[in-house]
Amino acid sequence: MEEMRLELFRRGNRDHERQAAELLREAFPEAYGEDPEEEVRSILQEERIAVKAVLKGELVGLIGAIPQYGHTG
């Protein structure tokens, strides 16, 4: 049985970026129903921190953070 992996989420994996947008659209339709792709682009900005959960090659979760006050990152 394959285990879920946590990995840094960086730009470049278009499949995972698309899956992240769809996950946001499904989980939070009121907030991201119109343009979840924009939120994914925001999460993946260089100065931000993003982690993805991957199971069997598919993105199944993500979390992002914005470094603030010199305490994060």
Tens-digit pLDDT profile for residues 6-58: 999 999 999 999 999 999 999 999 999 899 999 999 999 998 999 999 999 99
Q: Which domain holds residue 49?
A: 5-65
Could you say which DSSP state residue 4 is in?
Answer: P
73 assigned to some structural domain = no
* Per-residue model confidence (pLDDT) at position 33: 86
CB atoms within 10 A of CB 24: 21
Amino acid at 35: D
* Per-residue model confidence (pLDDT) at position 12: 94
72 assigned to some structural domain = no
Amino acid at 48: R
Looking up tokens 């993003």 gives 50
* pTM (two decimals): 0.85
Number of domains within the chain? 1
71 assigned to some structural domain = no
42 assigned to some structural domain = yes
24 assigned to some structural domain = yes
